[in-house]
Amino acid sequence: MSMLPAFFSYRRALLGGSLLLSSLLARAGGGDTRWPVDAIPAALRENAHAVIRQQDDILTVKSAGRMVYTVHRVVTVLDEQGEQWGVAGVMYDKLIQFSYLRGAVYDESGKQIRPLRSSDIKDYSAISGFSIYEDNRVRVGDLRQPRYPYTAEFEYEFTSENTLSYPDWQPQDHEHVSLEHATLRVITPPELPLRYLEARLPAGNTVSKSQQGTQQVHSWQLTNLPAVEREPYSPPLDEQLPAVYVAPTAFEVQGYRGTLSSWKEFGKWDYDLNQGRSELTPETTAKVAELVKGLSDPRQKAQKIYEHLQNSTRYVSIQLGIGGYQTFPATTVATNGYGDCKALSNYCMALLRSAGVPSYCALVGAGEQNVGMRTDFPSNQFNHMILCVPLPKDTVWLECTSQQQAFGYMGSFTGGRHALLLTPEGGKLVRTPRYGATLNRQLRRADVQIDEQGHGRATVRTTSTGLQQDDLAQRLHSLTADEQRQYAYKQLALPAVTIEQSNWQADHRGAIPAVTERLTLALPSYAARTGRRLFLTPNLLNRSSAPAPRVGARQTPLQLLMPFTDADTIRYQVPVGYKPESVPAPVKLSTAFGSYEAQVQVLPDGTVQYIRRLQMNGGRYEAAQYEAYEDFRQRISKADRAQLVLVRPES
């Protein structure tokens, strides 16, 4: 679904991500040794699969519409798990001209094995899995070796005529990779001053400013950063490691100039870029009038038009030059029946306007990795477009690329984050809907019959809503019935279980979509039999595991991504003559992270009922709170595995 503008689309595809000064071919010749592995400090080899020995990045802004990006990277690959660092990829397209890719590989002692040969370089189409029309290509240099350790050195350069997105600088951005030395230099003309944001830099590593003739130079460096390992439930690495974000004040994309000192300016540029592209033909206008005939409520009109959009168009990503930012005209979508996220959002906006319902396109960073946004640093942090429909009583958000998404539902792909609303006055930062614990529910009811041998048979009905149904809804529409059954087997995690019947059904009638799964299960030996007793775990399908034990003190914040509520009610029909002998004590827990309740009830009709409710609040917590979280999870895990003992009286 991503919009993937021409430069933004490949920023993270450049392995290692940095730039050059020296002439690598001159250095690679002769019998000299360089980059010996034994010169790496011991602290940088600890817990590392690769060591970035040297990374030099140079961004030279030539004008508002042209920049040159040069990379010099030297990485010692210590073992097979670090082998991706023996490869360098340089992406290019209509707006980015590839200049060169050179390199050499060295053995453990630092002696050159060979230079990068033309046969080591391949050129591939870089069309993404969701894109049909795209001009992205990638030049790949491969210096991987069968024997470890070795050192790969690469140097490459490209020129871009798209200056909207300057590359971020985060040379250490992977687990188990240490950094010996890295530098960034950004050279700009005086009329194009650099904007930058420093994040998590070690003390003493802030910017150094100088002059190079009339040009302004901003420089940064990092040294001796040990390898890191992401702790469980911690923020993404790119929110933990040192980084410098840079952006232009003025930019140009294929002749379209803009300024980027504020969100208002950025939004105005994008809004103006797409003006005059939302006109409809008289035939389409007449069709809209027929669709909303008899409707006066703008929400009902919006839903009718959105469902028409879903039934009459499909998503096709098209990324050609300025097409990464500028939409197809609405008439083109109406004629062809397809478009990318910009084209479909623009088309839906035009249809709504024809029905008297105003709406606005909005840029958003889609996907789990883009939930956070640097709101105090206006820059191109977006990869997708959605539609915002302000109504008198509320605001409706529409995902125009999906043929199955419920009306007004954003889900985990674009929900709970900032978006840039594109209005005639300029851009406005707003937030998309956030889905809390009471909306992201999993409600399960089951009836289980246990026979005297301990074998069970269960009928289970599970309704998932909000973010808890996102994955199920996608699988419902993309998997066959047999594939859905195999997926259900993986989720059950019960030994020897057999699914006798399986059925999934989606429900989009409410404000929050739901998926209901119905299962009939055979449970051989679910209750363990010992003499006159049967031992069983009343928590049939929702047993929580405890976090892995910590090693040392927690260093990073605790991040719980999705708030949710799980509620299970399981009723057991026990064998004739059996009575509960030992019933688990009720458990009730309440913490900052959430709450948990579980109890087993013996009902008047002789059945045994298990009730469990877990609510997790989500959010980010201080590292010092992790011990309390760990204890909370351990107590839940213990309670989830408590056993019920049934006994048959002696005859």
Q: Which residues of 388-421 are buried (b: 16+ CB within 10 A; e: fewer)?
A: bbebeeeebbbbbbbeebbbbbbbbbbbbbbbbb
Q: Which of 401, 397, 414 is nearest to 314 (CA)?
A: 401
CA 170 to chain CA centroid, Å, is 18
Please report the pLDDT score of residue 127 as a whole number.
57
Residue keyed to tokens 């790496």 = 40
Q: For 592-614, what is the mean pLDDT?
A: 97
Task: Encode pLDDT of 74-89 as tens digits.
Answer: 999 999 999 999 999 9
Rounded CA gap, 317 and 302, in Å?
A: 24
The mean per-residue pLDDT over the stretch 599-604 comes to 97
Q: Report the mean per-residue pLDDT for the chain.
A: 92
What is the tens place of the pLDDT at every residue in 366-418? 998 888 899 999 999 999 999 999 999 999 999 999 999 999 999 999 999 99
Q: Output the pLDDT for position 132.
A: 45
**If pLDDT is split at 50, 70 and 90, which confidence band does 27 have?**
very low
Query: What pLDDT does 548 receive?
Result: 85
Give the pLDDT mean for 582-600: 98
Give the SS3 label for residue 58.
Answer: strand
Can you tell me the mean pLDDT for 589-616? Answer: 97
222 pairs with which residues across the strands? 182
- Residue 179 vs residues 11, 355, 492, 556: alpha-carbon distances, Å: 20, 58, 43, 20
Asked whether 76 and 97 are in contact (CB, 8 A), the reply is no
Mean pLDDT of 119-146: 77
Q: Are strands 150-160 and 208-212 parallel, antiparallel or unpaired?
A: unpaired
Say yes or no to pLDDT of 126 above 80. Answer: no
Q: How confident is the model at residue 4 (pLDDT cuts 50, 70, 90)?
A: very low
Rounded distance, CA 366 to CA 357, Å?
25
Kindly state the percentage of the chain with pLDDT values over 70.
92
Burial class (CB in 10 A: 0-12, 13-18, 19+), 201: middle
Question: Given this model, what pLDDT does residue 6 score?
Answer: 28
Q: What is the pLDDT of residue 651?
A: 67
> Where do the structural domains in the chain lie, given as residue ranges?
8-256, 263-431, 441-647
pLDDT score recorded for residue 208:
97
8-256 CATH, one of 3.40.50.720, 2.60.40.3140, 1.10.3470.10, 2.60.40.1120: 2.60.40.3140
Q: How far apart are CA 102 and CA 125, in angstroms?
A: 20
CATH 2.60.120.1130 fits 441-647, yes or no: yes
**Whole-number pLDDT of residue 319:** 62
Q: Return the minimum-mean-pLDDT range out of 9-18, 86-95, 303-312.
A: 9-18
CA distance 383 to 433: 18
Contact 169, 239 (CB under 8 A): no
Tens of pLDDT, residue by residue over 276-329, are 999 999 999 999 999 999 999 999 999 999 999 999 999 987 665 566 789 999
Q: Is the pTM of this model over 0.85?
A: yes
The answer to whether residues 458 and 466 touch, using CB atoms and an 8 Å cutoff, is no
Residue 31 pLDDT grade (very low, low, confident, very high; cuts 50, 70, 90): low
Low-confidence winner among 115-129, 185-199, 435-449 (lowest mean pLDDT): 115-129
| pLDDT at residue 13, rounded to an integer | 35
Residue with more model confidence, 650 or 237:
237
Least confident range of 7-21, 176-190, 244-258: 7-21
CATH architecture entry for 263-431:
Roll (3.10)
